[in-house]
Amino acid sequence: MTQSHDLQVTVEALVQQGKGILAADESGPTIAKRFTAIGVESTPENRRAYRSLLLAAPGLGEFVSGVILYEETLGQCAEDGEPLPALAARQGIVPGIKVDTGKGPLALAPGDEITHGLDGLAARLEDSVKLGARFAKWRAVYNVSDSLPSRAAVEANAESLARYAAICQTQGVVPIVEPEVLIDGDHSQARCAAVTQEVLLAVFGALHRHRVALEHMLLKPSMVVPGKAHAQRAGPGDVAEETLRVLRRTVPAAVPGIVFLSGGQSPAEATANLDALNRQGPQPWRLSFSYGRALQDPVLQAWRGQPAQVHAAQEALLKRARLNALASQGRYGAEMEDGS
Q: Which of 19, 137, 220, 319 is catalytic?
A: 220
* Closest listed residue to residue 105, CA positions, set 135, 138, 149, 147: 149
Helical pair 151-170 and 189-209, crossing angle rounded to 10 deg: 50
The CB density around residue 83, as the number of other CB atoms within 10 Å, is 17
178 is catalytic: yes
Ranges of beta strands (E only) in 18-81 are 20-24, 64-69
Decide if 261 contacts 180 (C-beta within 8 A). Answer: yes
103 is catalytic: no
Beta bridge partners of 114: 104
Question: Can you tell me the distance from the alpha carbon of 170 to that of 67, in angstroms, rounded to the nearest whole number?
Answer: 21
Question: Can you tell me the distance from the alpha carbon of 326 to that of 333, in angstroms, rounded to the nearest whole number?
Answer: 9
Contacts of 2 (CB under 8 A, 6+ apart): none
Q: Which of 71, 113, 178, 242 is catalytic?
A: 178
Show which residues are catalytic: 178, 220
